[in-house]
Structure 1
Amino acid sequence: MAGMTVAPRRWAARLAAAAGLLVTVVALLIAPATPASAHAVLESTSPAASSIVPSGPSEVVLTFSESVRKVPDKVRIIAPDGSRADRGEPSFDGKVVRIPVDPGGARGTYLVSFRVISADSHPVSGAFTYSVGAPSTPPVDSGSDSRANPVVSNAVKVARFLGYAGLVLLVGPALVLAALWPRRLSRRGPTRLAWTGLGLVALATLADLWLQVPYTAGGGLFDVTGEGFGTVFGSAFGAAHLVRLGLLAASVFLLRPLLARPAGRADAIILAVLGAAALLTWPLAGHPAASPAPAVSVVVDAVHLGSMAVWLGGLLMLAVFLLRQADERELGAILPIWSRWAALAVSALLLAGTVQALIEVATPQALFNTTYGRLLLAKIGLFALVIAVAAYSRQLVRSRVAEQRPAPVRRAVWVELAVTVVVLGLSATLVQTTPARTAVAEPSGGVEAGQFSTTLSNSLFTMQIELSPAERGNNSVHLYAYSKDNLPLPVKEWKATAALPSAGIEAIEVPLLPLTDSHAYGDVSLPAAGDWQLKITARTTDIDQATVTATVPIR
């Protein structure tokens, strides 16, 4: 009678899991298609940043490196008097954003601020100015703040960490209970750990969905709207997280009997398929789905995440339960098997991590000169330490010391756990950091490594401006003039001034020395930090001259 009762339960669990998997497939089919790309960066604008145009444009065009999506009311143009100059909604066509503008607006400086969503679900924000007729004091956009809320940004990282931690707590007990757990030992402790892990993954997934609304819009922790949720749920990020929740719900029906007793082969296979599908939702909602090789990156990242969960989850089970409760005979059977599993997981981690690094970093320069690259180096260093400790543990297992004296192995396992928790924290930060391949490709119109560099154009010439070290005190200025054909353009007369209107500092003349016909050099002392207005006038003939203005951030 008992056998007849268990069989229908198993079939019901399998049917429920299959239904959950079907819902997941349908969700994937109706999820919006997203082109492969990375953190988008602003490549060019029309009018050009800091340029002066003779008459007002009918539209402002932003061109990004990759396709971007809209954040409601976060693309704005502010007129010199502080009013809104944009007219109607901006249009998004792949990587090009067009903002309609009233061409009959006032003369002076206009501020363009934007916040959009790149294909990897991260917000991209910024601002620039252009002037109509002549520059004026730049306006301030008091109605929109494109900066990320620090509480939300940190909460996103915490949610990512909790999701990883929950995955470890879920996978470790499930795997050990299914294959390595001695029958005589109680399964209560590992079962509670597994359910805690599943709860953490579900909680982190819901938190991700909630936080994505203010994270993309730039608001506070509770600045959420129905429109914001609609935008998130309609994105690839939202679809991946909803799919994960569906897979978690489906797996509950098969996880319950597995945790209570050894599972049948069919149940274990179905649960493994659900778990593998759930693992794919992490890379599908982040950088890998937007890499230059998305199919490879998604699979590699899922392998990386799964190997981490197996290794760290197994270590946790060893440290907390098996090394304390199993006897010598049981450890003699368990530890060699676990050692082989750990070696396989570590090998997969190394291989997947190498492929990830090659795709996301791309160049040695990006590895050492970007935040992403330096975080990755720190992660590699800690991982090497863990590998050394793991090698020591496996040596103890091979020498059979652990069967008689498990204390040395237990200490080594706790060291592995402690270091890998830090690695998990770095991983949670890495997924929120601009990939190195994108960071090194960002335009140079800003302060980087102690130098400001930008290129401005008008109807007469193109001007390349370099100022270093872009800090308070003495600074060197190099100016290069080019024709529309990108050839050196002779300049008869150079003039340059620097002003800081926000601090009441009027224009300071910059003495310039022509080094060649198209290259001038000067020194200027900038006494305060802030956004300085550097104005350069170049006269190319007796009657032809033009002026460009650059906003230079001084630290």
Structure 2
Amino acid sequence: MIGRGSRRFGLGVLVGVLLGFAFALVGASPAAAHATLASTDPPQNQVLASAPDQITLTFTEAVRPVPARIKVIGPDRSVVNGGSPTSNGTKLVIPLGRDAGKGTYLVTFRVISADSHPIGGSFVFHVGAPSIDPPQEGEAAVTKADPAVVWALGAVRYLGYVGLVLLIGPMLFLARLWPARLSRRVPAKLVATGLGLLAFSTVAEMYLQGPYTAGTGLFGADADAIMNALGGSYGTTHTVRLGVLAAIAVLLRPFVRPQGPSTIDLAVVSFFAVVGLGTWPLSGHAGVSPAPAVSLVADAAHLASMGVWLGGLVVLVAVLLPKANARELGAILPVWSNWAMMSVIVLSLTGVAQAIIEVASFGPLFDTRYGRLVLAKVALLALVLVVAYFSRRLVLAPARKALVGAGGPADDDEELDEPPVKPLRRSILAELAITGVVLAVAAALVQTPPARSAADAPPEPYSVTLSTDLYRVRMELDPARTGGNSMHLYAYNPNGEPQTVVEWTVTATPADGSIDALDIPLLPVTADHAVAEPTFPTAGDWDIKITLRLSDIDQATVTQRVRIGD
């Protein structure tokens, strides 16, 4: 089916792609993360003399607020928002309605990034001094995406990919490679099924984006939440996609006629196909990548090549192998072989381009969910290419030998060798089964923030309140990673009132005992508040020992194990 030179060329391209991927990741520096919180005013853990009039959050890209999920909880555990939050590009402003007194204020937020992902988080600031029992995230009803909603979105996106495969492959065969002897009814039904799946997937995604961004259950989002979710490029691109599907449905008739479509028919359908394929990258990661033009073209070409390859396999196994005769298959398969080889090359090249842009370096490839999904997709694709290689070997023999007995009539006066049609059909089915899993991984990738964002996201500070019979002490450690950190200690008496401390002593010891205890010098800021700048040389569990002397005879020690990240 593919000559030895072609096989060597294809193998060389794939090896070159893998080597290029490796060298690019080695030499790449992490791209600037998007849709992450860059700064806040007041800053995290800042102690203020009085409550501010408003709170400002600055992100690394433009965001839209989810008003129902943006709250400020005061020390008395009441909501102290003063009105609806507003966004202006990368800034989110939350007005405060009243001063809830001294203590810890919890700010929780949920916004929609430019790539349609919901971004949530929280931080605290203090007025006067931190609360001994500060408000927690649960009191602000900040929720992550409901697992049922996430699963449903992945499922409908998977159906959309299946629909794309059933639309592109059969239409291409009907346009350029369909035998005149065979009925066009079955491939036309495949195309109609693909259109239906794509339309259902598009409408379902538009609905599910509401509860996904609002953080509600499947049926918990109201009309305002759904309209808010569709207010950006996500709603526009999905609406355009529905229009494209409607246009293709109207233009489908020439493809089912015995003579096939005309050149004008093909040109018009190709135009709508390009527009439709562009709606996927424009509604996702590619639209806001560091190299948007490259990402948009690569993503659209990736989808198109997937549709040609997998859709062609479906047509072969469902219609042509059972029904076409040896002469027809002898003409079809060499052409299809070239299409398949070019599709695989484009699929590999564009996949590498996407991975380099979204992962950027080797670290996030292993340390983030997005990177691990990319590795899983690469491994599955490598497996399916091995199966595809053996599929092609089955048809390297002359067409008569390879394809007679495929289900259609052969010339009676020709003596033909026993064909390997059954092994070929099994091999193609194996390709389709594995690529079905690849599509599931691809659907999960769409819902996962890119590795460059996850890797560059600011770490969450660590905080804990420890108690003895003499006092309670609150420790805050930021960012709780190797290298320099900021530590704040606040002392309270057992009743929760500020406690005067005569002497502060803190040590840090790795739990594995690899080094001796490190003394952490502290600077008392007030009688009940001390700060330090500890440096942790290694990641892992560390035992933080805090000793507070309250008088000449009153002293107590508490120990807390803290996980220090990389």
Structure 1 and Structure 2 fold alike (TM over 0.5) = yes
SS in 2 for 1:127: strand
Identical columns (%)? 45
1:169 aligns with 2:158: no
1:522 corresponds to 2:520: no
- The equivalent residue for 1:539 is 523
Does the residue aligned with 1:111 lie in a helix, a strand or coil? strand
Hey, what does 2:340 align to over in structure 1? Answer: 342
Residue in structure 1 matching 2:115, options 113, 120, 129: 120
The answer as to whether partners of 2:161 and 2:439 remain within 8 angstroms in 1 is yes
1:533 alignment counterpart? none
Is the 2:523–2:530 Cα contact (8 Å) retained in structure 1? yes
State which of 265, 275, 278 in structure 2 corresponds to 1:277.
275
The 1:47/1:321 distance shift into structure 2, 3 A limit, reads same
Aligned to 2:95: 100
Alignment of 1:69-84 (within 5 A): 69-84=64-79
Match of 1:202 among 177, 199, 210: 199
- From 244, 256, 273, the equivalent of 2:253 is 256
Per the alignment, residue 13 of structure 1 pairs with: none
Question: Aligned with 1:114: secondary structure?
Answer: strand
**Matched residue SS, 1:199:** helix
| From 182, 189, 192, the counterpart of 1:185 | 182
Alpha-carbon distance between aligned partners in 2 of 1:91 and 1:553, rounded to the nearest angstrom: 40
- The match for 2:149 among 152, 169, 173 is 152
Q: Structure 2 residue aligned with 1:226, among 205, 208, 223?
A: 223
Q: Which residue of 1 aligns with 2:441?
A: 426
Q: Which amino acid is 1:420 matched to? A: T
Give how far 1:255 is off.
1.0
Give matches, 1:459-474, under 5 Å. Answer: 465=478
Rounded Cα–Cα distance in structure 1 between residues aligned with 2:491 and 2:483? 13
Offset at residue 478 of structure 1 (A): 9.0
Give structure 2 stretches of 5+ with no counterpart.
1-30, 405-418, 465-475, 512-519, 534-559
Deviations 1:295-352 (A, max 9, x none): 2101110000010011000001111111111111111111111000000101110111
- How many correspondences in the alignment? 465
For 2:98 and 2:532, the matched residues in 1 are separated by 21
2:99 partner SS? coil
Please say if residues 209 and 230 of structure 2, whose CA atoms lie closer than 8 Å, have aligned partners that are also in contact. Answer: no
Aligned residue identity for 1:69: R
Note the C-alpha offset of 1:121.
Answer: 0.5
Give 5+ residue unaligned stretches, structure 1: 1-35, 453-462, 469-476, 483-493, 514-519, 526-535
Shift in Å, 1:434 = 0.9
Aligned CA-pair RMSD: 3.5
Runs of 4 or more above 4 Å deviation: 36-39, 140-143, 463-468, 477-482, 494-501, 540-549, 552-555
| 1:290 positional shift | 1.1
Question: Which residue does 2:354 correspond to in 1?
Answer: 356
Residue 498 of structure 1: how far off its partner (Å): 11
CA, structure 1 residues 297+213, in 2 after alignment: closer, same or farther (shift >3 Å)?
same
Change (3 A) 1:370 1:277: same
Which amino acid is 2:172 matched to? L
Preserved contact between residue 288 and residue 298 of structure 1 (Cα < 8 Å): yes
Partner Cα separation in structure 2 for residue 113 and residue 366 of structure 1 = 27
> Deviations along 1:355-411, whole A, 9 cap, x unmatched?
111101101111111111111011001111111222222222222353232222211
Give the match for residue 538 of structure 2: none
Aligned to 1:6: none
Superposed displacement of residue 52, structure 1: 2.5
Once the two structures are TM-superposed, the CA of residue 512 in structure 1 deviates from its matched residue by: 7.6
Q: Is the 8 A contact 2:370 2:451 kept in 1?
A: yes
Residues 37 and 178 (structure 1), Cα distance of their counterparts in 2 relative to 1, 3 Å cut = farther
Indicate conservation of the 8 Å contact 2:313/2:432, yes or no. Answer: yes
Deviation of 1:47 after TM superposition, in Å, equals: 2.0
**TM-score, length of structure 1 as denominator length:** 0.77
User: How far apart are the structure 1 equivalents of 2:447 and 2:493?
Assistant: 37
Deviation at residue 102 of structure 1 after TM alignment:
4.3
Q: Residues 497, 429 of structure 1: CA spacing in aligned structure 2 closer, same or farther, 3 A cutoff?
A: farther
- From 134, 139, 145, the counterpart of 1:138: 134
Q: Describe the shift of the 1:47–1:541 C-alpha distance in structure 2 as closer, same or farther (beyond 3 A).
A: closer
Is the counterpart of residue 393 in structure 1 residue 388 in structure 2? no
| Structure 1 residues 230 and 499: CA distance shift in structure 2, 3 A | farther
Contact kept, 8 Å, 1:537 with 1:545, in 2: the verdict is no
Q: Cα–Cα, structure 1 residues 314 and 512, in superposed 2: closer, same or farther, change >3 Å?
A: farther
Distance between the aligned counterparts of 1:389 and 1:329, measured in 2? 25
**CA 1:329–1:102 in structure 2 vs 1: closer, same or farther (change >3 Å)?**
same
Q: If the length of structure 2 is used for normalisation, what is the TM-score?
A: 0.75
1:76/1:114 contact within 8 Å kept: yes
